[in-house]
Amino acid sequence: MCWCKHVVVALYLSFLLFSTGFSTSTDGLVRIGLKKRSLDTNEQIAAKIEAAGGEKLRASTRNYRFRNNVGDPGDVDIVGLKNYMDAQYFGEIGVGSPPQKFTVIFDTGSSNLWVPSSKCYFSVACYFHAKYKATRSSTYNKDGKSASIHYGTGAISGFFSRDHVKVGDLVVKDQEFIEATREPSITFMVAKFDGILGLGFQEISVGNAVPVWYNMVNQGLVKEPVFSFWFNRNAEEEEGGELVFGGVDPKHFKGEHTYVPVTRKGYWQFDMGDVLIDGKSTGFCAGGCAAIADSGTSLLAGPTAIITEINHAIGAAGILSQECKTVVSQYGQMILELLLAEASPKKICSQIGLCTFDGTRGVSADIKSVVDEETKDVSSDGLKDDTMCSACEMTVVWMQNQLRQNQTQERIMNYINELCERLPSPMGESAVDCENLASMPNVSFTIGDRVFDLSPPQYVLKVGEGPVAQCISGFIAMDVPPPRGPLWILGDVFMGRYHTVFDYGNMRVGFADAA
């Protein structure tokens, strides 16, 4: 069975972004311009090869890890980007004296700086990108500590070094960074970026390295301990956006920002309220949900149960999940009767024998979609049981939402079967009909005291033009278990609509209408 190997090719977005340069003005702000770049044939070929090799990609989502001792050597893979190739924002930096130029992704979802090393001898990817040469820098300081970061489409490994890092006109002195000596993935070979500059907190920094942003603040290089993103989502315009260090640029937003406090340092995490479809509450986050603002994720990710409901509402076509259908046909009526009898929703799946209840939730840590036919014969009974448990937990959530709307039992059962058919592909994406945008509902998120709307043109990403054009839902599924989840990842789909301020000094994140 090969559908999961080829679907990724049709789902890549129509542009990548790279830096145009820097500017520093008398207002004390350091501006980094961003520019759009089209996806090319090499990247499509790489996507095919990666998918055919069995990589389980989820477009533009991360391999988020949540461990207790994030500085331990065993936690070097705490942050991993699954796929950089959909739509990213690039900028140019300089490392060393004189500065050696590198194109990097400015990523609020990670905290390390890494660039390819001149000592990268055995990875083809290094031959296609700029490489740092320590011998050419008068300010280089040896460190040598080993480092490794694992990604969904490969990994990078190498060692730490120290040198000056130039961002715009700012020079960060003695910055710890990773010289990558191995980049085995084809994705890195054809990527338009050389490395990553993380703008997250030190709590998720591999090797506990001090992030570049921390040193900008500590060395007194910025006017205010604030940086902000403006992403230009107008595909017709050449300008891609701007990253501002030291404050905010008033011309990039309208009205006032709504600020919420950072609730947990690591990612830029905050509390989010309800999720609404066409103005109606889904009830999923009635008790509150955690969210992060992440410039390194192109789409908007959330729990599978509610993402499936959103994709159903917008007419996004997913992949049939047999496990989901089985749960509905064999246990659906029983689940419904237990809900009507006011049984504890969290215990229902264990009561009917599909989950092992541990006092807080089922054993399922994440929702799994249908296993490829080629791997079913080696799947363990434990995996299958966990998938059935996950399908049951989703069914309970969906039925709860329908009961709140006073739907009939027959309507509820039909609706749940429809949702099963809308489950996303193993890569997380779902397609919509480009001609139906006018009839699709708004999807909204409550943050602070404001409801933030996304209209169909804002959450649907169009790939190509004319009769070959494809439209992709900007919503993808990702499940993070309690206590850190449910977690929403507000990536570029959201940040493109709303100018985003990362206020390090006051430990808060702010959103305002982008101008």
Active site residue 169: no
- Here the tokens at position 293 are 């603002």
C-alpha distances (whole Å) from 257 to each of 285, 375, 449, 458, 498 are 22, 48, 11, 19, 9
Please check whether residue 14 is in contact with residue 462, taking contact to mean a CB–CB distance below 8 angstroms. yes
Active-site pick, 86, 143, 194, 294: 294
- Here the tokens at position 298 are 């192109």
- Here the tokens at position 340 are 């009507």
Question: In degrees, to the nearest 5, what angle opens at C-alpha 268 toward C-alphas 431 and 275?
Answer: 45
Please check whether residue 303 is in contact with residue 328, taking contact to mean a CB–CB distance below 8 angstroms. no
Q: How many CB atoms neighbour CB 428 within 10 A?
A: 27
C-alpha distances (whole Å) from 320 to each of 4, 96, 161, 328, 485 are 12, 52, 49, 13, 26
Active-site pick, 86, 107, 194, 503: 107
Active site residue 294: yes
User: Which of 47, 82, 78, 76 has the alpha carbon at shortest distance from 62?
Assistant: 82
Helix (H) or strand (E) holding 165: strand 154-167
Q: How many CB atoms neighbour CB 373 within 10 A?
A: 11
Angle between helices 322-340 and 409-421 (to 10 degrees): 150
Strands laid side by side in the 275-277 sheet:
280-281, 275-277, 443-447, 450-454
Strand pairing category for 226-231 and 239-245? antiparallel
The residues facing 197 across adjacent strands are 106, 113
Question: In degrees, to the nearest 5, what angle opens at C-alpha 277 toward C-alphas 275 and 278?
Answer: 135
Helix (H) or strand (E) holding 231: strand 226-231
Active-site residue numbers? 107, 294
